[in-house]
Structure 1
Amino acid sequence: MAKTVIIEQTGGPEVLKVVDRDVGAPGPGEIRIRHEACGLNFIDTYQRSGLYKLDLPHALGMEAAGIVDAVGEGVTHLAPGDRAAYAAMPPGAYAEARVMPATQVCPLPEAISFEEGAAMMLKGLTVQYLFHRTSPLGPGDTVLFHAAAGGVGLIACQWARSEGIRLIGTAGGPEKCRLAEEHGAEACIDYRSEDWVARVRELTDGKGVQAVMDGVGKDTFSGSLDCLAPLGMMMSFGNASGPVPPVDISQLAAKGSLKVTRPTLFTHIADHATCQEMGRMLMEKVGGGDVRIRIDQRFALDDVTEAHRALEARRTTGSTILTV
């Protein structure tokens, strides 16, 4: 039996329930993993609220780290006793232990702690595909990153710095802006007190940025288009403020032949070999010191309701984990 967080209906944080579930044995292509820590992400709130549909009842949670307890037939990249971490479908990471597909589970080097592993996989793999698999970016390019003081944002700030890419961030309040700049943002704009579109244009001498990386959604999408240079790429990868309304595609032509994509991590990591390659790059960035995983909030698994409230109220910085 393992303590597991489930929802039986969609709604606010109050619908989260902690129950005991039988774990069972892994089948072909599966592993059983005993978690040391679990990650908290905005996608979890989308699934809980019903924005992203799940068949109910369903366990929640998309990333965790721990020790492989057993492996099923056909699993060759992991063995019992291995340290491992993952961001993976289906949801179910908010648990003491689980049986799950092995495809998206990655070996975790000794140099990276279980807490770091649980906090970095979904966010770090997201940053990897934004910088390396979505649109060509390289030294000297400039990107705009919204919510730069959040878990994904702080990784992105450091990632950009490590590759000679200029990152301009936005965040809510001077403390969050300072945090983003400490982690590698060249500048961070306080959207509560500044016209961030005008400021981006000022910081780029009116030219705009090559790419916008936007996990906020509804509140920032339109302004983000106005920050792009001609032929720039809008990467809309999340909906923290709500889903983006329908877009008049002719506006992309009028604003400079812009490109727009709505990527998801799980499309990028669906292939086993690709997922493992992306995981290795992330772990090299963290293990080599280019990226430091900042964990600013820790909640016990039993306190998952309060963790969701804090995340949705934007009372968090860096990454948040659930301790098991």
Structure 2
Amino acid sequence: MPKAIVVHRTGGPEVLELEDFDPGLPGPGEVRIRQMAIGLNFLDTYYRSGLYPAKTPLIPGGEGAGEVVATGEGVGDFAPGDRVAYVFPLGAYAEERNVPASHVVKLPGAIDFETAAAAMLKGLTAEFLLHRTFPVQAGQTILFHAAAGGVGLIACQWARHLGARVIGTVGSDDKVPLALAHGCDEVIQYRREDFVARVKEITGGKRCAVVYDGVGKATFPGSLDCLQPFGMYVNFGNASGPVENVSMVDLGNRGSLYATRPTLFSHISRRPVLEAMAENLFSALENGVIHAPVSARFPLSRAADAHRALESRATTGSAVLLPDG
């Protein structure tokens, strides 16, 4: 019988338990996928810990790639044997699972399963950040926090391709060359440097058009001081804790700034938008505009070790879970 990681009570990594799991026949509008690789994201720890409320028992994970093995009633766009990838809903930490066909996209033959599993959530996040939330233009200077993380490595490459000057922050010295090799023009090690002062120095006091922040509490409100008048602060993650107490008056006093908290859920809720975003992402991967390096691989049975590595910030780039069989 296929296996899955199940969370019966929220808590630390130890609550991730490997169990037998039969997803059953796909229901109307669903496809059953035999997973070849499963994406691993910091977001997964939010559901496991209870930061993002969800009913238990739950199977974590929001992205994967594999082959269709069965289709439910009314599914006409997919057939057994199709190579596919998807993002959401939860339930990815499983060897086989059922997914609404509306969330599934066909995977080009040039993209392997590990890359797809590693790039769907992070790559589509980079896509909506750079192309939809604040469309980056050539000649603009941007700041991207956690530039050596999964989203950061993809987004900084993409932003450089779009013609932006990219400043990235990282949390350790060993991540500096990695960020420089993946799109950053300048890298700030924020644990030993004042990133606000360095941004002002790098830009000659002009600061940035946009700050993309997946770190949260530790980089706010300093990120606002890195923005030029009418600049945009984009918060898309809480790696250090959620941003709290954002003052509308403060945004005005700092230069008529914009602040937003976009989510991937909102963007992909419409099928045509998902298809367009995936097409843009796959094209960028196929054409070498971006690379999504898989830096760590864990057996599904070692999901707890994978979460410990994520939360200790020991990982760089993307990591995947692989079915034990």
1:246 maps onto 2:245 in alignment: yes
> 8 Å contact 2:129–2:135 — kept in the other structure?
no
Q: Which amino acid aligns with 2:10?
A: T
> 8 Å contact 2:126–2:155 — kept in the other structure?
yes
- Range 73-82 or range 300-309, more displaced: 73-82
1:132 maps onto 2:147 in alignment: no
> 8 Å contact 1:104–1:276 — kept in the other structure?
no
Q: CA deviation at 1:41?
A: 0.4
1:292 maps onto 2:291 in alignment: yes
For residue 226 of structure 1, give the secondary structure of its aligned residue in structure 2: helix
> 8 Å contact 1:9–1:57 — kept in the other structure?
yes
Computed over aligned residues only, the root mean square deviation of the Cα atoms, in angstroms, reads: 0.9
In 2, the alpha carbon distance for the partners of 1:119 and 1:111 equals: 15
> 8 Å contact 1:36–1:66 — kept in the other structure?
yes
Q: Which amino acid aligns with 2:34?
A: R
Task: Give the aligned partner of residue 51 of structure 2.
Answer: 51
Q: Which amino acid aligns with 2:27?
A: G
In 2, the alpha carbon distance for the partners of 1:227 and 1:75 equals: 48
Q: CA deviation at 1:86?
A: 1.3
In 1, the alpha carbon distance for the partners of 2:256 and 2:232 equals: 10
Task: Give the aligned partner of residue 33 of structure 1.
Answer: 33
Please give the per-residue CA displacement for 1:276-322, whole angstroms capped at 9, x wherever unaligned: 11001000000111111111111000000000000000000010100
Q: CA deviation at 1:174?
A: 2.0
Task: Give the aligned partner of residue 154 of structure 2.
Answer: 155
Task: Give the aligned partner of residue 3 of structure 1.
Answer: 3
1:192 maps onto 2:182 in alignment: no
Alignment of 1:211-230 (within 5 A): 211-230=210-229
1:268 maps onto 2:240 in alignment: no
Please give the per-residue CA displacement for 1:253-274, whole angstroms capped at 9, x wherever unaligned: 0000000001111110011111
For residue 221 of structure 2, give the secondary structure of its aligned residue in structure 1: helix
Task: Give the aligned partner of residue 13 of structure 1.
Answer: 13
Task: Give the aligned partner of residue 95 of structure 2.
Answer: 96
Q: CA deviation at 1:182?
A: 0.7
Q: CA deviation at 1:77?
A: 2.8
Q: CA deviation at 1:190?
A: 0.5
Please give the per-residue CA displacement for 1:223-246, whole angstroms capped at 9, x wherever unaligned: 101101110111100000011121
What runs of 5+ residues in structure 2 fail to find an aligned partner? none
Q: CA deviation at 1:136?
A: 3.1
For residue 231 of structure 2, give the secondary structure of its aligned residue in structure 1: strand
What runs of 5+ residues in structure 1 fail to find an aligned partner? none
Q: Which amino acid aligns with 2:46?
A: Y
> 8 Å contact 2:136–2:162 — kept in the other structure?
no
Moved over 3 A (4+): none
Q: Which amino acid aligns with 1:15?
A: V
TM-score when normalising by structure 1: 0.98
> 8 Å contact 2:168–2:179 — kept in the other structure?
yes
Task: Give the aligned partner of residue 169 of structure 1.
Answer: 168
Share of identical aligned residues, percent?
55
